[in-house]
Amino acid sequence: MAVETPLKGNIGDSIKRKEDDRFIRGKGNYLDDISLPGMLHMAINRSPFAHARIKSINTSAAQAVPGVVAVVTGELLAQHKLAWMPTLSGDTQAVLATDKVRFQGQEVACVIANDPYVARDAAALIEVDYDVLQAVVTPQQALEPGAPLIRDEKEGQKDNHIYHWEAGDKAKTDAAFEKADKVVKLDTFYPRCHPSPLETCGIVADVNPATGHATLYMTSQAPHAHRTLFAIVAGLPEQNIRIISPDIGGGFGNKVPIYPGYVVATAASLLIGKPVKWVEDRSDNLISTGFARDFHMSGELALRNDGRMLGLRVKMLSDNGAFYADAQPSKFRAGLFHIVTGSYDLQAAHVETDGAYTNKAPGGVAYRCSFRVTEASYLIERLVESAALEMKMDPTEIRLKNFIKPEQFPYMSATGFEYDSGDYPRAMQVALDKLGYQELRKEQAEKRKKGELMGIGVASFTEVVGAGPGKHYDIVGLRMFDSAELRVHPTGKAILKLGVKSQGQGHETTFAQIVTEELGIPAADVEVQEGDTDNTPYGLGTYASRSTPVGGAATAVVSRKLRDKAKKIAAHLLEASEADIEFDHGKFFVRGSPSKSKTIQDVAFAAYTNLPEGLEAGLEGVTYYDPPNMTYPFGTYLVVVDIDRGTGQVKVRRMVAVDDCGVRINPMVVEGQIHGGLTEGFGIAFMELITFDEEGNCIGSNFTDYLLPTAWETPKFEMGETVTPSPHHPIGAKGVGESATVGSPAAYVNAVIDAVGHLGIRNIDMPVTSDKVWAALNEKGAAE
Amino acid sequence: MGQSITVTVNGEQRSAEVEPRLLLVHFLREKLRLTGTHIGCDTTHCGACTVLVDGTPVKSCTMLAVQADGQQVTTVEGLLTGGALHPMQAAFKEEHGLQCGFCTPGMMLTSIALLKDNPDPTDDDIRWALSGNICRCTGYMNIVKAVKSAAVQMKAAAAVPAATAAARS
């Protein structure tokens, strides 16, 4: 009987995940699982109003509750210069409100008690006297002359306008529109939604008053950057701050910012001298932490009669909430939204963006996407769908006509991105073949004759992920490099320490596989550590699909550094010249005689026991990798829907996803990432919505109102792939964590529009719910 | 104020004085330090806190500890038998049915209860049974695969003693 050789975990091997052993036993260590001796608990009193002046705060009833240790107000924080904190976009945000509340759910006061139930009881007893002000709930309202001024505390702020930012060439774009045979326009709103990781955000702050050391256990996607921000905000010496990000129960961008609760818990621990735990409940999470999207977008495409695109003009107004706290590189005011030319060879494009304050929660994180790329991808893919309808072209034909061609890479886009590699027609063809596109078009034509509504949606997206390079991309000045430190021990086992931080992506397995590929140490022998700032090299963290493009590259580079040193040692062991040493899958040998070899384990042992003259001991190294460019994953997604004319219900019959993320380290993990993204994209397209009434009351503050897809609604996915390696990444990988959330919403919505476009319906804003579809059908006299 | 309760948790009798308002999930997590049962939503939607009470999946954020008095509770920590993984645990790893791991204990317990009633479920049976458990990472594809695979393993395991008995007679 043939014995199966166990996989070592080279690149391309779908080995099982190393981290799973603890999770399936219930032995993960998430934030709320941490319990320290003497630990106190914090609860937050939040504003019930969207916009109100605080007349007074009475904490006496709360303070009188047995078990309450302290009540923290903005006034107390102001005494320590902590009432306001800087945001990731160069604005300020109230930690606890002192003058006004600016959104419903804003943090007003905190209770610290010896029991979490007591803390919550007491938080409800805090009496706040409010003078209610008119709420501003849309950015359009916010920018009207005479609109109530939300940020009246900001010097020089005369209105609710935040930023104006442009990309591309306006004159060239105007000229392209002059020459156009046809202009197709689409106004669409990408509504506010929320990453909603299943684990909410939280902190256990443990400040030792005797030593001044602060150990902060935090649900952090970026522990090193957070440490530096804490040093700046709280004025604590950075060497005394240790952030430990334990197992994280999903992030999706929600755990990138620093939230007021983290700051108050830390301050409280410092003042009281005991550990303080704060864990959000679900409403806290939905009502106050990093929301996503909320972009009002208007796109115009200039076309020739044959369907060739000549130019793209985009205007976008973002609703940033009460504080401009978007998590994004500092030079870019609307993230990387200017990637909006997508997969198309557009010679002229101009993008104009503005942002406005409203009385809503701040945040503006990229929910499983790289800095607003999903909004961009959605707009261009929806606009191309409109163009296909207007030009009476098949949506695949118009795309094929306008794709950037494989031979055009590297391709400089009209808005300044240098696309690294791609083969868009190929990915589309694989998807069309897998779906059986032509047959389904025939079926659709037959059904249409009978009055039945069936649609096929197409989206051919391109992402831009993996920021830096550091000279262009930074977070509050910190360059977006990332790091890897590799220590190979005498017995040939290794520890890999990373600056990035997994939230479920499987780093403990996939990053070990990069070491396996580069050094030949089996993945089982490589322990991956992340999330502890005292014990990992500095890095910017995990978001924007940057772990593999940047941290993965760092891992490959540091492994190669060690391999170079190992060659010197191998030459010594084999009594040969270093120049004659070759390496293949963990074995060093003299060129031409592979039978006489030394393994990486032999060499590792020698690195501590038997070194050549003049060589430092040890086999360890560290690399800080600044990528030369970002990576550009892409793919084509196809969706088939059937729509009930009587109810407007949309049923997703099929979903085919063909992704090209370059080289796949662990195909099983890659597919899992894509499944998750397709599901979150499905939720965004059809279910997930945070909206507000005219008084600024948040609707979507719990899972009764904020609907997430369950196994029952979620479609079954059919997967395909192409592999176009990134030419500048050491192992050719591009990153995949977010492709599916970026690409899929447009595919789902395009399928709906494809089903109803012939009735004259051009747009239904997400979430595409039955009532909206039925109303659109009804307006055209097509509902039953 | 306290009320005395005795709950059999993972086969072991646990007695405690608890406040009547204490939620079962907090009893398990805080009093017994069984932190494998997670809290995701507080409103009975997400299922991260699912445990088995007398074999039935219950969202322990919506049950009081005092209501569990005298009952049998199984949490994820009770799934190992003599250190060996339950077939459901093994299948979740094998089929990549988890990513961040936060929903996993609840998913596995709900699935185990399903297989007790329906040892040979279809994809739709599994999806319906799990529709009260939310996963944000996996898109459910591999969870469904894991439950199917566990069903096959468990049926095979159940068949072995029967076959052995038949061979002996």
Q: Please provide the DSSP assignment of A356-372 as one string.
A: E--SS----B-TTSSTT
Question: Do A752 and A576 meet the contact criterion of CB atoms below 8 Å apart?
Answer: no
**What CA–CA distances, in Å, run from B84 to A557, B81, B90?**
39, 5, 9
Residues of A in Cβ contact (< 8 Å) with B103: 198
A221 catalytic residue (yes or no): yes
Mutation choice for A interface testing from B9, B141, B142 by most A CBs within 10 A: B141
The tally of CA atoms less than 13 A away on the side-chain side of residue A715 is 27
- Is the CB of B43 less than 8 angstroms away from the CB of A708? no
In this structure, the answer to whether residues A323 and A284 fall within a common structural domain is no
Give me the percent of chain A exceeding a pLDDT of 90.
97
pLDDT tens figures, B86-140: 999 999 999 999 999 999 999 999 999 999 999 999 999 999 999 999 999 999 9
Q: Name the phi and psi angles at A376, rounded to 5.
A: -65, -45
Tell whether A531 lies on the interface with B, counting CB pairs under 8 A: no
The verdict on A222 and A80 lying in the same domain is: yes
CA–CA dist A726, A661 (Å, integer): 8
Q: Is residue A273 located within the same domain as residue A318?
A: no
Q: How far is CA A758 from CA A379, A443, A448, A642, A647, in A?
A: 21, 16, 9, 15, 19
Q: How high is the pLDDT of residue A6? A: 75
Mean pLDDT for the stretch of residues A36-54:
98
pLDDT at A239 over 70: yes
Q: For residue A142, tell me if it sits in a domain.
A: no
pLDDT digits (tens, 9 = 90+) for A458-468: 999 999 999 99
Tokens 């059999």, residue located: B8
> Do A708 and A641 belong to one domain?
yes
The answer to whether B39 faces chain A, any CB pair under 8 Å, is yes
Select the residue of B85, B89, B136 nearest A198 (Cβ to Cβ). B136
pLDDT of A492 reads 98
Other CB atoms within a 10 A radius of the CB of residue A479 amount to 18
Tell which B residues from 97 to 136 touch A, by Cβ distance under 8 Å.
98-105, 108, 123, 126-128, 130-136
Active site residue A661: no
Q: Based on the domain organization, do A495 and A509 belong to the same domain?
A: yes
Catalytic annotation on A368? yes
CATH topology of domain B3-78: Ubiquitin-like (UB roll) (3.10.20)
Residues of A in contact with B98 (CB under 8 A): 20, 23-24
Fold type of domain B87-159: DNA polymerase; domain 1 (1.10.150)
Structural domain contains residue A5: no
Q: Tell me, yes or no, whether A645 lies in a domain.
A: yes
What is the gyration radius of the CA atoms in chain B, in angstroms?
17
Concerning whether A784 is annotated as a catalytic residue, the answer is: no
Answer whether residue A641 is part of any domain. Answer: yes
CB atoms < 10 A from the CB of A145, how many? 5
Quote the ipTM score.
0.97
Q: Among A2-11, A409-418, A774-783, B67-76, which stretch is predicted with the lowest mean pLDDT?
A: A2-11
pLDDT computed for residue A7 by the predictor: 83
Q: Which residues of A touch B75 (CB under 8 A)?
A: 26
Residues A616 and A752 in one domain: no
**Least confident range of A72-76, A366-370, A423-427, A517-521:** A366-370
User: Could you tell me the residue range of the domain that residue A268 belongs to?
Assistant: 34-133+200-248+255-288
Helix axes A739-756, A667-686, angle to 10 degrees: 50
Q: Are residues A645 and A732 in the same domain?
A: yes
Return the closest-CA partner of residue A650 out of A746, A756, A742, A744: A756
* pLDDT at B169 > cutoff 60: no
- Give the CATH number for residue A677: 3.30.365.10
| Together in a domain, A446 and A336 | yes
Exposed/middle/buried for residue B124 (C-beta within 10 Å: 0-12, 13-18, 19+): exposed
CATH at A77 = 3.90.1170.50
Q: How many domains does chain A have?
A: 3
Nearest-by-CA chain A residue for B43: A703
Inter-chain CB proximity A23 and B98 less than 8 Å: yes
Of A359, A252, A251, which is closest to residue A30 (Cα–Cα)? A251
For residue A613, pLDDT over 70 is answered with yes
Residues of B in contact with A33 (CB under 8 A): 29, 35
Quick one: A339 and A259 in the same domain?
A: no
What integer best gives the mean pLDDT of chain A? 97
pLDDT of residue B167: 61
Residues of chain B with CATH 3.10.20.30: 3-78
Q: Which of B140, B143, B147 to mutate to test the interface with A (most CBs of A within 10 A)?
A: B140
SS3 letters across A20-56? HHHHCCCCCCEHHHCCCCCCEEEEEEECCCCCEEEEE
Q: What is the mean pLDDT of residues A256-275?
A: 96
Residue showing tokens 């550990």: A275
Residue A188 forms part of a structural domain = no
Contact criterion met (CB < 8 Å) for B93 and A672: no
CB A698 within 8 Å of CB B165? no
Contact indicator for A136, A160 with CB cutoff of 8 Å: yes
In this prediction, residue A2 has a pLDDT band, given cuts at 50, 70 and 90, of low
In a domain, A27, yes or no: no
Q: Is residue A260 part of a domain?
A: yes
| Closest CA relative to residue A259, chosen from A303, A290, A214, A224 | A290
A213 and A82 belong to one structural domain: yes
Model pLDDT for residues A641-666, shown as the tens digit of each residue:
999 999 999 999 999 999 999 999 99
Last residue in a domain, options A558, A591, A625: A625
Residues A663 and A775 in one domain: yes
The per-residue pLDDT of chain B, averaged, comes to 95
Average pLDDT of span A535-547: 96
Percent of residues in chain A assigned helix, strand, coil, to nearest 5:
30, 25, 45
CB B115 within 8 Å of CB B85 = no
For residue range A439-487, list pLDDT tens digits in order: 999 999 999 999 999 999 999 999 999 999 999 999 999 999 999 999 9
Phi-psi region of A672 (alpha: psi -120 to 50; beta: other; left: phi over 0): alpha
Asked if A379 and A496 sit in the same domain, the reply is no
Domain-located, residue A590: yes
CB of A114 less than 8 A from some CB of B: no
Task: Express each pLDDT in A81-101 by its tens digit.
Answer: 999 999 999 999 999 999 999
For the residues A418-428, what does the mean pLDDT come to?
98
For residue A236, is pLDDT > 70?
A: yes
Residue A425 binned pLDDT confidence (cut-offs 50, 70, 90): very high
